[in-house]
Amino acid sequence: MCRRKHMENKNPRHLFHKLFLSYSAVLILIVGVLILYFISSSRTRMLETNQDYAGKLCGEAVLEVNRASSDADYLHRAIYQNNSELQDMLNYFRYETEEYLKRHLDTYASSNTVDNKDIYSYVENAYSAYPDIKKIELISYTNNKTTVFYSENDIRVDHNGRERRKEILDGGLASPGSYSFQKEIRDPLSMRIEGCIVFTFDTGTITAIQEEYPMAELYLYYNNGNQVYPEKDSLLLEDFQQEDAGRKLKSYIQIQSVEDYIVATRLDKHTAASIPVVHILAILAIGAVLVITGEILISSYLKRLTKRLDGIIQGMDQVQTGNLKVQLPENENGDELDMISRHFNLMCQELESYIQKSYLAEIEQQNAEMQALQSQINPHFLYNTLEAIRMKAICNGDREVGKMLYSLAVTFRSQLKEADVITLMQEMHYCKKYLELFEYRYQGKFRSSVECVPELSGIPVIKFILQPIIENYFIHGIRMEESDNEIRIYARRMGDDLYIHVEDNGRGMPVEDMENKNRELKNNEMDTRKSIGITNVNRRLKAAYGDTCGVFLKANRPRGMHVILLVKVEERETDEKSNAGGG
């Protein structure tokens, strides 16, 4: 007794949980290290990518400023490629407006061509070819006349040339939102500088470049420190040129000079190395999948291991009960457990051989005498006799009696040959056969229906739990004076609970009696002076499935009884609980 209790305390599940926790801890540690590695690696790759983007942003901005400078150079050279256009611009710089217009008309009148080029056609062509030009300024060094072309049709003339030239010398070629290039115009003959043209470009293209690389910040300054882009004041040029600017600004800094301008980019160190949340979630999700997969594999492996251990312990338990014929699988994996099984089997064989030499002959003789006595009253005799009577009735043409005997024989055989645990479908089938017997007895008095959906048909239940309920109905519930009696049997599943319902429209039971009966069923009480059919079923259900299961009574509506049998669904073979099989 003490040894058996000790073995039960050493259930293989204890080993399973211990190993499972140990392996799970190692698995989680490994996956955690991998997650940290991938996050660190992703941060490094993200930093390199963003630094590369910042370099591309700076390079694109430098190319854009170079392009604008090249456009200004091209427009400057284009003036000298057309003599009439150059002469008209020189006249515009040398003379006042009235004298310029007079000379312009004289030149046009004396020209042999209809297409006479002048500064207005030049400006029109410039705006058509380069839409990002914001304005074109013509500044005369002779009469200080300043003409600003905001478009072909928006022209403004002033005589502030001296002040404008001073402003340009002080860095006025750049202002927030625009940057300019100054090109001086010389007389090819005298090489005298007559004036200059200022081409001002919009920062719209630079804004588009910034939008392509949003992780870094782009800045454009004139070489005197005036900020061109962005238009709002943020960082000064001195901030980028200070010693150890990257550390002070906590950023990665790049600075390039192009023409009279300085392009600077700033990439925040924290932002550069930050990983998008979706990437972190993806890494964590992969880690979770790895952990779950690993847990499933570990659990599967440990279940196989503990199942083998459980088989060894069960074999030992059977030996304790006197069964020495038990044999354990011994060639599954070729490991130590197989060695234990092999020695266990050899021990059982040797022990059985020893017992046979001393006691088996006497025991077999006593068993033979007992079996001879039992064979005289073997209940199979009754079943075989019923089958013989049924065949005789069929031979005599009495098929109705034959059907009744067949239903009785099937019901009787179910109690003799079936295991203690059968499927729900088998139990429902025996109910149908049992009800057929009553249909012959009470013809035209009642209707019955037995339902079992396919997904519930294979659920194992202990046998002979419905027939006593049905018998109780025909003894106490059926209304013999009426012909609309009905009994319905069906099953429903809710999670791990199987509910078998037996509803009828019979006499029912008074509320007080029903409450007393439910209390007796709940407390597992048994009054031998009353009908014990329902009580017997209730006690068997509680013994097989636990105290939460059993039989419950309810009043059916509008009349009759509603009996509910609660069974726990257990995933196992139907004959696992059987103590005897069919013969």
Region 249-259: what's the mean pLDDT?
A: 88
**pLDDT given at position 312:** 79
Question: What is the Cα–Cα distance from 316 to 350, expressed in whole angstroms?
Answer: 15
Give the pLDDT score at 320.
Answer: 80
Q: Which of 458, 454, 451 is nearest to 490 (CA)?
A: 451
Would the pLDDT of 239 be above 60? yes
pLDDT tens column, 543-582 = 889 899 999 999 998 899 999 999 999 765 444 444 333 3
Mean pLDDT, residues 508-512: 91
Instruction: Give the confidence band of 13 by pLDDT, cuts at 50, 70, 90.
Output: low
Q: Backbone phi, then psi, for 465, in 5-degree steps?
A: -110, -15
| Averaged pLDDT for residues 136-164 | 86
Higher pLDDT, 106 or 187: 187
Q: Convert the pLDDT of each residue in 406-419 to its tens digit.
A: 666 665 555 555 56
The predicted structure's pLDDT at residue 573 = 44
- Listed in sequence order, the residues at least 6 apart from 521 whose beta carbon sits closer than 8 Å to its beta carbon are 534, 535, 538, 550, 551, 552, 553
Domains assigned to the chain: 10-275 (no CATH), 418-568 (3.30.565.10)
Percent of the chain with pLDDT over 70: 82
Which tokens is 318 given?
A: 């059977």
- Give the separation between CA 92 and CA 88, rounded to whole angstroms: 6
Q: Which pLDDT score is estimated for 240? A: 85
Q: Dmax of the chain from CA atoms?
A: 151
What would the two tokens of residue 63 be?
């190319």
Helix (H, G, I), strand (E, B) or coil at 398: coil
CA distance 431 to 411: 8
Instruction: Tell me the CA end-to-end span of the chain in Å, nearest whole number.
Output: 33
The confidence band for 364, taking pLDDT boundaries of 50, 70 and 90, is very low
Task: Tell me the average pLDDT across 135-151.
Answer: 89
Which residue bears the tokens 């009828």?
Answer: 504
pTM of the shown model:
0.47
Q: Say how far residue 518 (Cα) sits from the centre of its chain.
A: 46
Name beta bridge partners: 185: 195
pLDDT tens by residue, 443-496: 888 899 999 999 999 999 988 899 889 988 988 899 988 889 999 999 999 999
The chain-wide mean pLDDT, for the chain, equals: 81
Three-state secondary-structure class, residue 384: helix
